[in-house]
Structure 1
Amino acid sequence: MENRSHALIAGVFTVTLITLAVLLAIWLGRDKIQRVPYEIITRQAVSGLNLQAAVRYKGIKVGNVTDIDFDPAQPGQIILRLEVMPDTPVTAATFATLGYQGVTGIAFVQLDEDDKHPAAGRALSGSDGGITRIPMRPGALQNLEQRGMAILSQAEELTRRLNQLLAPENQQKLMRTVEMAGKAAEQWSQVPAQLEPGLKQLPVVLLQARNTLNGMEQLSAQATQLSGNLNNLTLQLQAKDGPLYRFSQTMDLLNQNLQGETLPRLNQLSQDARTSLRSVGQTADQLRERPQSLLFGNTTPLPGPGEPGFVPPANSQKP
């Protein structure tokens, strides 16, 4: 009976001691820091992300993921709820990405700042429930996956085009092209033999060209000399006492003589000739009217009215 009482006391003591130890551990390990809740809305896959996963700001752990759930208002959308330390500098330029630790594949939420964001330094807007939301961008793995899919699509397109290129009809065309290229190469190999006679004549042609250039240089020198002589002749002709000047003086003197002497004489001769022609005309008129005057001479004309000896005709008197 005594052994049973000792065993009961020892059992009660052990249970009490374990209970006190658990309570002490809970009391010592409880977190007294008041954390700030945030939400992340995303349509990306969150593979490897678990509850209580770490939340890091620029690599520093600042909180944990408290809930992962589907958005009942938007099918296919995931809501991540996290709690971070109040001194974490979360602004409107803060964005979240999904990172992975080493080779274990354990995911965590990485917070970072976009310095080029137009709203940098401003506070985040809250959701309908009053919890601030942080936008989520594709992480390195998601970008690699997307680019890998694009590369695979391009590789498939390249493979398809190669298959089209290597189709039987295209292979025949390619073989014909290769044959034509071989024939062209053979014909091209005969070109040097055909050019060899011309290359042998090339020194002679160059010599003739050099002689031609020398002749052109001499002709150019002679042309330059001729131009100089023409310039000298022009200067001599245009000189004050040159032939052109003397010719101009002679022409001026001849013009003066013509205007001062010759033209007045010609005018006087013209007037005399006109007077003579008038006299000849009058004489011809008299001979036409009185031809007898050529034998008997001119008769004295009868006196006219008012002249001495005028007698009026008889038939003109009144009865």
Structure 2
Amino acid sequence: MENKSHAMIAGLFTIAMLAAVILGAIWLNRDREVRVPYQIATRLSVPGLNPQATVRYRGLDVGRVSRIGFDPQVPGQVLIDLSVRPDTPVTRSTFATLGYQGVTGLAYVQLDDDGSDPARVESSAAHVARIELRPSLLDSLQKRGLAILLQTEELTKRMSVLLNPENQQTILSTFTRVGNAAVAIEALPGQLAPTLEAMPALISEAQRSLAALGKLSRTADTLAAGLQAPGNPVARIGAAADDVSVLANRFEREVLPLTSDIRGSLRVLNRTLNSLNERPQSILFGGAGVPPGPGEAGFIAPPGN
């Protein structure tokens, strides 16, 4: 019995010593530094984030995650309580993202600042300041990966429609026409060879034509200069035209009135000759008198009146 009592006492003493060592280690390792509380409220998923996870500010350890839970006021919103060193420069433009440690999948809170508002944020247990949680690289990749998968699925559907039997036949026909066009283009150099051979002669002829045109242009310039010189043929023709105009005006003033008189005299002469032809005796006896009119002596009324 006495041996059993000694063994029990020894066991209890060992257990007490182990508990004392554990408590001493906890007491020695406890964080005695005063921390500032902050809070993150988000609707984003926080996979791999656990209490006591590390809080880092641009890669430096500045605190721990003290609690993770749901917001009782807003359904679906997650609240993450942080305990951060007081010298951490948390400003109004500070934001948080989730980072992941290697391949373990354990997450930590990464604090960063874009510098848009450098005013410091004051936080206390009575008034806990909140920090914005932005999508992490994994969230962005997940969203973009989903969009890429949707686009890939749409592309696959379109390719399936494009490669149906009818379109395959159309594509083969197009390739055949392209091949025929390539053969025709390949034959073009041989068809153009005679034209290319005749090009030097055509160029020489064109050069001669250009030379002749140049000579003609110089001759025209010389002729134009001669026509513009004093006493040139154009000026003489103009002077002659002026003389003709003066002569025409004189003819109109002097000759045309004489012509009118001559015409009147000729008409009188014609009437006189006609009278002589009709009554030649008028040369001896004179012309016939004018017959008396009504009311005059010797007037005879026509029969039947």
The normalised TM-score by structure 2 is 0.68
Please give the alpha-carbon distance, in whole angstroms, between the structure 2 residues aligned to 1:20 and 1:186.
96
Structure 1 residues 168 and 126, CA gap change in structure 2 (3 angstroms): farther
Match of 1:68 in 2: 68
Residue identity matched to 1:137? R
Larger radius of gyration: 1
State the distance in 2 between where 1:77 and 1:205 align: 87
Once the 2 structures are TM-superposed, how far is the Cα of residue 73 of structure 1 from its aligned partner? 2.9
**Which of residues 169, 172, 180 in structure 1 aligns to 2:169?**
172
Alignment partners' CA distance in 2, 1:156 and 1:4:
77
Deviation at residue 221 of structure 1 after TM alignment: 2.3
Task: Tell me, yes or no, if the aligned pair for 1:39 and 1:79 is still in contact at 8 Å.
Answer: yes
Gaps of 5+ in 2: 244-305
Q: Say if 2:58 is the partner of 1:58.
A: yes
Residue 221 and residue 66 in structure 1: after superposition, are their counterparts in 2 closer, same or farther (change >3 A)? Answer: same
2: distance between equivalents of 1:194 and 1:24? 103
Q: Which amino acid aligns with 2:100?
A: Y
Identity within the alignment, % = 48
- The question of whether the paired residues in 1 share the 8 Å contact of 2:48 and 2:105 is answered with yes
Q: 1:209 deviation in Å?
A: 0.4
Flag the structure with more relative contact order, 1 or 2, with Cα contacts below 8 A and sequence separation at least 6: 2
| 1:49 aligned partner | 49
Deviation of 1:196 after TM superposition, in Å, equals: 2.9
CA distance in 2, matches of 1:186, 1:140: 54
Distance 1:43 1:215, change over 3 A: same
Residue-by-residue CA offset, 1:207-259 (whole Å, 9 max, x unaligned): 1101001112212222333344345x14x78xxxxx99xx9xxx9xxxxxxxx
Report the residue type matching 1:178 in the other structure. F
Q: 2:289 aligns to what?
A: none
Supply the distance in 2 between the matched residues of 1:73 and 1:191 (Cα, whole angstroms): 82
Q: CA RMSD in A?
A: 3.1
Tell me how far 1:155 sits from its aligned partner: 1.6
CA 1:163/1:6 → structure 2, altered by over 3 Å: closer, same or farther?
Answer: closer
What secondary structure, in the 3-state scheme, does the structure 2 residue paired with 1:48 have? coil
For structure 1, the residue ranges without an aligned partner over 5 or more in a row are: 238-242, 252-319
1:193–1:35 distance in 2 versus 1, CA, 3 Å: same
1:26 is displaced (CA, Å) by 3.2
Within 1, Cα distance between the matches of 2:119 and 2:165?
Answer: 65
Write the mapping of 1:224-263 to structure 2, written as runs, cut at 5 A: 224-231=221-228, 233-234=229-230
Match of 1:212 in 2: 209
The aligned residue for residue 188 of structure 2 is: 191
Q: 1:126 to 1:224 in 2, by over 3 A?
A: farther
Opposite residue 226 of structure 2, the aligned amino acid is N
Shift of residue 85, structure 1, vs aligned partner: 0.7
In structure 2, distance between residues paired with 1:7 and 1:166: 86
Distance 2:11 2:151 in 1: 73
Structure 2: distance between partners of 1:11 and 1:178: 92
Aligned residue pairs, count: 236
Task: Report the alpha carbon displacement of residue 59 of structure 1 after superposing the two structures with TM.
Answer: 0.4
Query: SS of 1:172's equivalent?
Result: helix
Check the 8 A contact 1:124/1:133 in 2, yes or no: no
SS of corresponding position for 1:144: helix
The 5-angstrom pairing of residues 275-294 of structure 1 reads none
Q: Give the equivalent residue in structure 2 for 1:29.
A: 29
Pairwise CA distance, 1:126: 7.4
2:12, 2:158 → 1: CA distance?
Answer: 82
